[in-house]
Chains A and B, each alone.
Chain A
Amino acid sequence: MNLETDYLGLKLKNPIMPGASPLVDDLSTVRRLEDAGAAAIVMHSLFEEQIELERAALDRDVESHTESFAEALTYLPNEEDFNETSEQYLQLISKIKATVSVPVIASLNGITPGGWIDYAKLMEQAGADALELNYYDIPSNPSMTGAQIEARAVALVEAIRENVSIPIAVKLSPFFSSLPNFVKQLLGAGANGVVLFNRFYQPDINIEDLDTESVLELSTPSELRLRLRWLALLSAQIDTSYAATGGVHSAQDAIRAIMAGADAVQMVSALLRNGTDHLATVLADLTRWLEEHEYESLAQMRGTMNLKHCPDATAFERANYLRILKSWQV
C-alpha cells in the first residue's frame, strides 16, 4: 500500500510521526521510533522563556559570584563548559539527524519577536528539515485585542521566515475567533502549514496549599473530534499542509484525521502509554484497513470527509450542536 504523503513539502513514507514530546530526548528511543516506522521525528519545543531565563540565570547565578572573594575567583568551571538547554537542544538535533534517515522537525515555542528567534536559524544550521512554531499564547491582557494577538503571530512567522529557508509549520490552539482567516494570514507570512491543535497544559489548584500545580494528562481519542472539525473546515478552503495532533491513538483515529484533510498525524499520548512499538501497530492497522477497504493509496483517502466532500457538510457547522441535543432526547 502506498502510504506516501507530502507534508510541508517533505516527502514522507507515511503520515504517522511522533509529536512533540520528551520521547526524543533519548536517542535509542528515537531509533526505535524510526524502526517502528515513524515518517518523521518531531522534537519537543525549545521555549522562548527557557532561552531568555537561562541566559539571565547564568549571568545572575554564576557570573555574579565571580571575582569577589580572594580565595575563590570563580566557583564553577568556565561557563562554556556547561550547556544551556538551548545548546543541548541544537546538539540533539544534530545527533538525531545522525541517528535517523527520516526528516527531523525542530520545535520552537514563543510568542514575542526577540533574540530567541536566532535559534530558528541555529536549528536550521543544526540540520532540522523543518520547524514547528508552537504558538502558545494565553491572551491574559484585557487591553490586547484579538487582532493584535494575530498580528503578533504573523510578525513572528515573518521574522522566522526571514531567518530560515526550511519549511515552517505553525502549531495552533483552537482559540482564535476566525481560525480560517488567521491561517490564511500565517500562510501569507511564510508558513508552510499548520498543526491542529496544541493541547494546553491546564494547571490545577491545590486547595490545601492554596497554590497551582501542574498536572500532565495524556490525551484521549475523544479529543480528536475538535481537530476533525477544523481539519474538515480548513482543508476544504485553504490549500496548505495540515497535521493533526491530539487524540490520535489508533489507525482508525489516523484515518479519520486524514479523511478530514490531514497530510500527517502526530501521536504522543498513545506512544507514551503503549510504547514506541505502538506506532508500528498503527501503521500495520492503517495499511490493513486501506487494503480491506480497497483503497489504492493513502492519497486517495485524504480530505474525502472534509467540508467540500463529506456527505453532510453541515455536520461540521453550527447545526451540529443542536442535533446532538436532539439525540439526547431520544
Chain B
Amino acid sequence: MSANQEPSTAVRSPKAATLDANEAVASVAYRLSETIAIYPITPSSPMAESCDEWSAKSRPNLWGSVPSLVEMQSEAGVAGAVHGMLNSGALTTTFTASQGLLLMIPNMYKIAGELLPFCFHVTARALATHALSIFGDHSDVMACRQTGFVMLASNSVQEAQDMACISHAATFETRVPFMHFFDGFRTSHEVSKIDLLDDEVLRSLVNEEAIRTFRSRALTPDKPSIRGTAQNPDVYFQAREACNPYYASVPKAVQGLMDRFAKLTGRQYHLFDYVGHPEADRVIIAIGSGAETAEEAAVWLNAQGQKVGVLKVRLYRPFNVEAFIAAMPASVKSIAVLDRTKEPGSVGEPLYLDVVTALAEARSSGLSRFACEPVVIGGRYGLGSKEFDPAMAKAIFDELLRERPKNHFTIGINDDVSGTSLDYDAEFDLEGSDVVRAVFFGLGADGTVGANKNSIKIIGEETSNFAQGYFVYDSKKSGAMTISHLRFGPRPISAHYLIKRANFVACHQATFMEKFDVLGYAVPKGVFLLNTPFGADVIWDHLPREVQQQIVEKELQFYVIDAASVAHAAGAGGRTNTIMQTCFFAISGVLPREEAIAQIKKAIKKTYGRKGDAVVAQNFAAVDQALAGLHQVKVPANCCNGHAMLPPVPDCAPDFVKRVTSVILENKGDLLPVSAFTADGTWPVATTQWEKRNIADKLPVWDSSICIQCNKCAFVCPHAAIRSKFYPSELLANAPEGFNSVKMRAQEGQSFTIQVAPEDCTGCTLCASVCPAKSKTDPSHKALTMTVIPERAKEAAQYAYFLDLPNPDRTLLKPEVKSSQFAQPLFEYSGACTGCGETPYLKLLTQMFGDRLVIANATGCSSIYGGNLPTTPYTTDKNGRGPAWSNSLFEDNAEYGLGFRFAIDKQNGMARELLTKLAPQIGDTLVADLLAGGGRDEAAIAAQRERVKALRDRLAGINALDARRLSDIADFLVRKSTWIVGGDGWAYDIGYGGVDHVLSTGANINILVLDTEVYSNTGGQMSKSTPFGATAKFAMAGKTRPKKDLGLMAMSYGNIYVARIAFGAKDAQTVKAFEEAESFDGPSLIIAYSHCIAHGYSLNHGLEQQRLAVESGTWPLFRYDPRRAAEGLNAMQIDNAPPKVRVADYLRNELRFKTKPENLAAFEAAAQEQVDQRVAFYQKLAGTGISEAAK
C-alpha cells in the first residue's frame, strides 16, 4: 500500500477483503482470460488451483463465459499450449515460478517474437543451484529479462492485484506479452486486507478494440497466414528489428493505464515510484517487497533528519531510462541498487547493471540532471526468502554515507568467507506502537494457521482495522512447527517482514518451550499464552529456566490453558484451534472481548453451519469453555530455578552436527555464517539420527511371548522406527533394564528382539495394524499394541543398546520379507508424513542394496523427505557405506540417473583396462579374480571388496601414474546399484519423455515410481496416474479419464523388466520384484502403490486400502520379466488372485473418490467396468502365467 494516494472524484468505493496475493491475482487473471493452461509449482500453485475451482463451479469471466482450463505435463507443455492458444485467438493466462519459468523460456521468445498479447503471473522464486529452494527471490524472473517479455513488478498484496490488472490491460494495448511478478511467499502467501477490484474497473481498463484486433490476427483456415517461418541470413536480422516500435510504445502505454487506473481506484502508480526526501542524498533502488521495507527505513531516517529515499522499479523491462532519470532526485550523491538474485561471474547483478548503464546513457545523452554524478553500489539481499528488514535497509543507507561504500555487498547474512556482507544492528526495530503484533507457535496438525487466518478475516473484514498474516512452516511433513506472524492496526500495514518483537506470543505446543526460544519474540510487559496440561498453580515448576527468566525479566503477563482438555470436554476432538483463537482474543486486547467472541461464533456458524446445529453448538461450547479454562499465572518474583532447556543434539553428535545442524534445529539458522557451509552444496549424510522429535503420543509395545518373528512390523514402518535383530544370546548379559528379547526361532543360541525407536516413531500404527500375531487366549491382544509410554527415556536407552548389537552377516540374509528386515535400514527417521506409503519402499531398497546404492531422485515428496535440511535420512553402515543420493531437477531425473550409470560403467571399464595393463605388477591371479569378480550377490560383493582392498595395498607399492589412477577408481570394480526414484508426477508427466528414453537405452538401471496417483508434494494435483473418478486438484469433479498404464507402455518394448507392486497387499512380491529388477541386466521399472494423505483417509488404514486395491483388481500385481521369455515362458506373471471384492469396496473408503453424488453410482459402475476390462486384458497377456504366489 505504498502507491501515492491521489484523491479523485471518479474513485469507486471499493470492497475490502483479506486474502493473499495468489488469490487476488488469480481473480483478475481469471476474469480477463478465456483459456488457461496450468501446471503446479510452488509458490504459484494456489493461483492455478483457484482458477480450476472457479472454472469447475462455472464462474464466468468478464465477458460472461467460463474460462477453459487444461493441465499440462510440464511448464514447457504449458508454454507450448499457451502459444497455440494465443495464435488461435484466445485471451490466455498461466501461472508459474522458478524451474517452471525456466522451462517456459523457449516459448517466451516465440510469443514475444510474434507479438502475441499475453499476460502471465510469476511468484518469483529461487532456482535450484547448490540446493533447491522453494522460497522467494528474483533468480527466476531475472533469467527471463532477455526474452522480450515486458516485466512488471508488484510489491504487496494490493499491488499484486492492481498490477495484474494493469498488465492484462497493457498487453492488449501494446501487443507485447507481459510477465507480472511478485515475491514468492512473502507476497504470494501473505494475507492482507486490500481493496478489491470489481468487474467495472477491469472493464474500464480493457481495450475491447485491441482485443478485436488480436482476434482478427488469429490463425484460421478461413483467412490463412503463416507464422513460424525459417529465415535466412538475408532477412532474419531486419525482421527481428521490426518489432522495435511496439517495445518503444510500452512505457507510455503502461503509464497511461496506470493513470487511468488511478482515476478509477485512487491508487496511482508510475513506472518508477520514488518515495522519500525530495532532496535525498542517498537512494536505494529495488524491485519487489524489499522496496517497501526500504521505504519504512527511509521514512524513519528522514524523521531523524536524514535525507534518503527509495526508488521502486515497477516496469523493469523495457527499462525506460528517461522515466528512470526523471524519477530520481537530482540531489542524490550515492545509490545502492539491490538485487534479489545472484549472477556469479557477472560485473554485477541485473538491476545494478541496468542502473549503471542507464546512468551512463543519461550522462552521454544529456538527460542526466544530477548535481554530481552519483556513486553506485550494488548488493544482494533476500535470496531464498532470507529476511530483509528495516535494520538491513538502514545499514545500506548508512553504508552509502561512507566515502567508499562497499560495492557488490550482501546484506542479511554474515559472509565471513569473502567479506561481502554489511554489518547491521539486528536489534534495530521501528514498528509503530499502534500496530498489534502477535506471534503463534503451532504444530502443523493443530489448526493454528487456519485459526489465525480466520482471526485476520474477522479483524480485517468485520472491523475498520487492517490486518496482515504471514506464516512460516518448517520442512517436515509430520510433526511440523508453524510460526504465524500477525499484525493488526488502524492504518494499512506496510511491514513486509517477519515480526521480531511481539506484543502477544502464544505457544500452542508446550514441548516447543523446551527446544526453541519462543519468548525471544516477546516485548517487555507483553502477553504470553501457553497451551499446557499443567494448571496455573503448577506450571511454573515445569518451565525451563531460560523461559522463567524471560517471563520475569520482561514482566510478561503469562496465561495458561489446557486446550486439549477443553476440546475433549466440549466434544471437539483433538482440534484446539478455536479454543486457542478464543484465548487470543480474550487476552490480546486486539478487539473488545465480547465483540471478538461474537465474531468467532459467527465464523463458526459460517464454517460448520452446513454440518448441523449440533456441530455448531459443540464449537460454541468450546469457545465458552475456553474462556472458563483460561487462567493467568502468578509469576514468582525471583524464582528461576527450573530445568535447563533440552540441547538440540546430544554431546556425542559429530562436530558438524553440533556446529551447524544443531543451530538450524534451534531455529537459528539465520545466524550461521557463510564459512559454515561447503561451497558446492555437499552435505554430510546420516543426520536425522540426531534430531529426536518425540512426536508420537503412543508407541508400539512388543509382547515377545506371542510374536511369531515375521518382521512384518519392521517391513511396513515408514520411518525405520521399529526394527528387528537376532544376535548371540550371551550379549544379553549387558542389556539395560527392561530390554525385551526372546529365543530366535530355529537358531540355537540366538536371541531375537523387536525394538521401537521411541524418539523417532511417529505413532502411525502401521506396525500394530500389520502384526498377525494374536494371543490365543485374548485375540484382541497382538504382539504389538499401541500404548502410552510413561518412561520414554528408559525405552530410548533400550533402543541405543539395540542399535549397538551387531547386525547380521549380510551374506547370510535371503531376499525375502523376514530376512530383509534383519538388514540395517540405511534410510531412517525421515520427515515424511506419519504413515507414509512411499518410504517403506525406500527403506527396503536400502536394506537390500544400500551399501552399493546410487539414487537419482526426482524433485517431489521423496526429494523433500530425502534431502530437505536440517537433517537428512540416508545413512551409512558400520563400514561407512550407504546410499549416494542426489536430486537434480524434477523433469530430468531419469536422464540424471542414466548419467550415473554411464559414468559408473565407464569407470568400471577404465579400471578393468588399467587392471589388465598393470597385471604384471599387481599379480595375474588377483587381476584375474578382480576381472571375474563382478558378481551381484552379497558374498560376491563382499569378496570383491576384499580384493579391491588387496589391490589398493599392492598399488600403493607401484610408483606409476596408472597405479594411482587405478587406485582412484578401484571401487568401481565392485558392482553398483543404480536406482532412479520419483513420484508419478515425474514418471507419468513431466519426466515421462526421459523415463521412456532411458528405458529404451537398454542401460542397466532401475526405475522406482512411488505412485501416489497425484502430485503429492505440491498439494494433490492430478497427474496422468490419477485414477478414473478420483477428485484431485485440477480435477475437481473427479477425473473423467482412466489412469495411464505406464507398466503396459514399458512392456511394449519387450526387453524391459516391469513390475507393479503394493507392499501392503503382498510384501513378498515387493521383495521379489526388487530382487529381480536389480538382477536383471537391463532397464527395470517398478511401479509401487503408495498410499498418501492426499487420498483423504486415515493412513493407519493404508495397508488395508492397499489390500483392497489389489483384491478388487484396481491395482493388479504383476511382474514382466524378459528373462522368462528367453526360457520360452510367458514373460508376464500376474501375482494376485482374481478379484474377490467389488471396486466400490475399495473406493468408498477414500475421500478422493467421494465426488458429487449425482456421479457416484454411475462412476462406481464405470470404474468397475474399467477394472473388469483391465483384469481381463492382463489375464490374456499372462496366458497361463499366473504366478505361484497368486495361486
- Interface contact A67-B450, CB-CB below 8 Å: yes
Is B495 positioned at the interface, with any CB of A under 8 Å from its CB?
Answer: no
Interface residues of B in 302-347 (CB under 8 A from A): none
Known interface pairs A66-B450, A210-B774. Does A82 touch B1155 (Cβ–Cβ under 8 Å)?
Answer: yes
Known interface pairs A72-B1017, A115-B614. Does A61 touch B1160 (Cβ–Cβ under 8 Å)?
Answer: no
* A140 contacts across to B, CB distance below 8 A: none
How far is A55 from B135 in the complex, measured between Cα atoms in Å? 35
- The listed residue (A63, A77, A91) touching B1158 by CB distance below 8 A is A91
How far is A92 from B1159 in the complex, measured between Cα atoms in Å? 11
How far is A61 from B580 in the complex, measured between Cα atoms in Å? 21
- Interface contact A75-B1020, CB-CB below 8 Å: yes
- Interface contact A72-B614, CB-CB below 8 Å: no
Is A200 positioned at the interface, with any CB of B under 8 Å from its CB?
Answer: no
- Interface contact B574-A58, CB-CB below 8 Å: no
Interface residues of A in 104-126 (CB under 8 A from B): 114-116, 118-119, 122
Known interface pairs A60-B573, A65-B445, A69-B473. Does A83 touch B1031 (Cβ–Cβ under 8 Å)?
Answer: no
Interface size class, chain A? 35 or more
How far is A27 from B1165 in the complex, measured between Cα atoms in Å? 13
- The listed residue (A25, A62, A68) touching B482 by CB distance below 8 A is A68
Is B949 positioned at the interface, with any CB of A under 8 Å from its CB?
Answer: no
How far is A208 from B477 in the complex, measured between Cα atoms in Å? 39
How far is A114 from B1160 in the complex, measured between Cα atoms in Å? 28
- Interface contact B482-A67, CB-CB below 8 Å: yes
Is B221 positioned at the interface, with any CB of A under 8 Å from its CB?
Answer: no
* B1016 contacts across to A, CB distance below 8 A: 72, 75
- Interface contact B611-A55, CB-CB below 8 Å: yes
Interface residues of B in 159-212 (CB under 8 A from A): 185, 189
- The listed residue (B612, B776, B1152) touching A76 by CB distance below 8 A is B1152
Is B771 positioned at the interface, with any CB of A under 8 Å from its CB?
Answer: no
Q: Indicate with 1 or 0, residue by residue over B604-615, a CB within 8 angstroms of chain A CB atoms.
A: 000000111111
* B1007 contacts across to A, CB distance below 8 A: none
* A61 contacts across to B, CB distance below 8 A: 1093, 1096-1098, 1151
- Interface contact B610-A82, CB-CB below 8 Å: no
- The listed residue (A60, A82, A118) touching B614 by CB distance below 8 A is A118
How far is A150 from B636 in the complex, measured between Cα atoms in Å? 57
How far is A14 from B800 in the complex, measured between Cα atoms in Å? 76
* A64 contacts across to B, CB distance below 8 A: 445, 447, 574-575
- Interface contact A25-B1161, CB-CB below 8 Å: yes
* B449 contacts across to A, CB distance below 8 A: 67-68
* B776 contacts across to A, CB distance below 8 A: 210
* A26 contacts across to B, CB distance below 8 A: 1161
Is B1032 positioned at the interface, with any CB of A under 8 Å from its CB?
Answer: yes
The residue of chain A having its C-beta at the shortest distance from the C-beta of B1093 within the complex is A65
- Interface contact A77-B53, CB-CB below 8 Å: yes
Q: Indicate with 1 or 0, residue by residue over B1119-1157, a CB within 8 angstroms of chain A CB atoms.
A: 000000000000000000000000000000001101111
Interface residues of A in 59-111 (CB under 8 A from B): 59-78, 80-84, 87-88, 91-92, 95
Is B42 positioned at the interface, with any CB of A under 8 Å from its CB?
Answer: yes
Is A315 positioned at the interface, with any CB of B under 8 Å from its CB?
Answer: no
The residue of chain A having its C-beta at the shortest distance from the C-beta of B774 within the complex is A210
How far is A66 from B1152 in the complex, measured between Cα atoms in Å? 15
Is A284 positioned at the interface, with any CB of B under 8 Å from its CB?
Answer: no
Is B1019 positioned at the interface, with any CB of A under 8 Å from its CB?
Answer: yes
* A210 contacts across to B, CB distance below 8 A: 774, 776, 779
How far is A70 from B1157 in the complex, measured between Cα atoms in Å? 32
Is A211 positioned at the interface, with any CB of B under 8 Å from its CB?
Answer: yes
Is B471 positioned at the interface, with any CB of A under 8 Å from its CB?
Answer: yes
* B1094 contacts across to A, CB distance below 8 A: 75-76
How far is A62 from B450 in the complex, measured between Cα atoms in Å? 13
Is A313 positioned at the interface, with any CB of B under 8 Å from its CB?
Answer: no
- Interface contact A118-B612, CB-CB below 8 Å: yes
How far is A276 from B692 in the complex, measured between Cα atoms in Å? 62
Interface size class, chain B? 35 or more
The residue of chain B having its C-beta at the shortest distance from the C-beta of A64 within the complex is B445
* A122 contacts across to B, CB distance below 8 A: 612
Is A56 positioned at the interface, with any CB of B under 8 Å from its CB?
Answer: yes
- Interface contact B1017-A71, CB-CB below 8 Å: yes
The residue of chain B having its C-beta at the shortest distance from the C-beta of A89 within the complex is B1157
Is A10 positioned at the interface, with any CB of B under 8 Å from its CB?
Answer: no
- Interface contact A87-B1157, CB-CB below 8 Å: yes
Q: Indicate with 1 or 0, residue by residue over B577-621, a CB within 8 angstroms of chain A CB atoms.
A: 000000000000000000000000000000000111111011000
* B1156 contacts across to A, CB distance below 8 A: 83
* A116 contacts across to B, CB distance below 8 A: 614
Is A238 positioned at the interface, with any CB of B under 8 Å from its CB?
Answer: no
Is B480 positioned at the interface, with any CB of A under 8 Å from its CB?
Answer: yes
The residue of chain A having its C-beta at the shortest distance from the C-beta of B480 within the complex is A68
- Interface contact A63-B447, CB-CB below 8 Å: yes
Least distance between B843 CB and chain A CB atoms (Å): 21
How far is A170 from B806 in the complex, measured between Cα atoms in Å? 66
Interface residues of B in 36-53 (CB under 8 A from A): 42-43, 45-46, 53
Is B725 positioned at the interface, with any CB of A under 8 Å from its CB?
Answer: no
Is B492 positioned at the interface, with any CB of A under 8 Å from its CB?
Answer: no
Is B104 positioned at the interface, with any CB of A under 8 Å from its CB?
Answer: no
Q: Indicate with 1 or 0, residue by residue over A125-155, a CB within 8 angstroms of chain B CB atoms.
A: 0000000000000000000000000000000
Least distance between A33 CB and chain B CB atoms (Å): 15
- Which has the most chain B C-beta neighbours within 10 Å: A58, A210, A211? A210
Least distance between A95 CB and chain B CB atoms (Å): 8
Interface residues of B in 758-783 (CB under 8 A from A): 774, 776, 779
How far is A66 from B1108 in the complex, measured between Cα atoms in Å? 27
- Interface contact A69-B444, CB-CB below 8 Å: yes
Is B1033 positioned at the interface, with any CB of A under 8 Å from its CB?
Answer: yes
Q: Indicate with 1 or 0, residue by residue over A262-282, a CB within 8 angstroms of chain B CB atoms.
A: 000000000000000000000
- Interface contact B480-A69, CB-CB below 8 Å: yes
Q: Indicate with 1 or 0, residue by residue over B440-461, a CB within 8 angstroms of chain A CB atoms.
A: 0001110111100100000000
- Interface contact B1160-A88, CB-CB below 8 Å: yes
Is B1087 positioned at the interface, with any CB of A under 8 Å from its CB?
Answer: no
- Interface contact B1036-A81, CB-CB below 8 Å: yes
Q: Indicate with 1 or 0, residue by residue over B460-481, a CB within 8 angstroms of chain A CB atoms.
A: 0000000000010100110010
Least distance between B442 CB and chain A CB atoms (Å): 9
The residue of chain A having its C-beta at the shortest distance from the C-beta of B1148 within the complex is A85
Least distance between A70 CB and chain B CB atoms (Å): 4
Q: Indicate with 1 or 0, residue by residue over A168-202, a CB within 8 angstroms of chain B CB atoms.
A: 00000000000000000000000000000000000
How far is A117 from B450 in the complex, measured between Cα atoms in Å? 29
How far is A114 from B571 in the complex, measured between Cα atoms in Å? 12
Is B549 positioned at the interface, with any CB of A under 8 Å from its CB?
Answer: no
- The listed residue (B612, B779, B1020, B1031) touching A82 by CB distance below 8 A is B1031
- Interface contact A58-B1158, CB-CB below 8 Å: no
* B42 contacts across to A, CB distance below 8 A: 70-71
Interface residues of B in 1027-1043 (CB under 8 A from A): 1031-1033, 1036
Least distance between B1169 CB and chain A CB atoms (Å): 14
- The listed residue (B445, B1160, B1161) touching A68 by CB distance below 8 A is B445
Interface residues of B in 529-550 (CB under 8 A from A): none
The residue of chain B having its C-beta at the shortest distance from the C-beta of A51 within the complex is B612
Is A1 positioned at the interface, with any CB of B under 8 Å from its CB?
Answer: no
Is A226 positioned at the interface, with any CB of B under 8 Å from its CB?
Answer: no
The residue of chain B having its C-beta at the shortest distance from the C-beta of A94 within the complex is B1157
Known interface pairs A55-B615, A77-B1036. Does A27 touch B1161 (Cβ–Cβ under 8 Å)?
Answer: yes
Interface residues of A in 201-247 (CB under 8 A from B): 210-211
The residue of chain A having its C-beta at the shortest distance from the C-beta of B610 within the complex is A80
Question: Which 3 A-B residue pairs are closest in the complex by CB-CB distance?
Answer: A115-B614, A68-B444, A72-B1019
19 further A-B pairs in the complex, CB-CB below 8 A; given A68-B482, A72-B1016, A74-B1020: A25-B1161, A61-B1097, A66-B450, A67-B448, A67-B449, A69-B477, A69-B480, A70-B135, A75-B1019, A76-B1032, A76-B1152, A77-B1033, A78-B53, A81-B1036, A82-B1031, A82-B1155, A95-B1158, A114-B614, A210-B779
* A-B pairs with beta carbons under 8 Å apart, 15 shown: A60-B1098, A63-B450, A63-B575, A67-B449, A70-B185, A71-B43, A71-B45, A75-B1019, A76-B1094, A77-B1031, A77-B1033, A77-B1036, A81-B53, A83-B1157, A115-B612
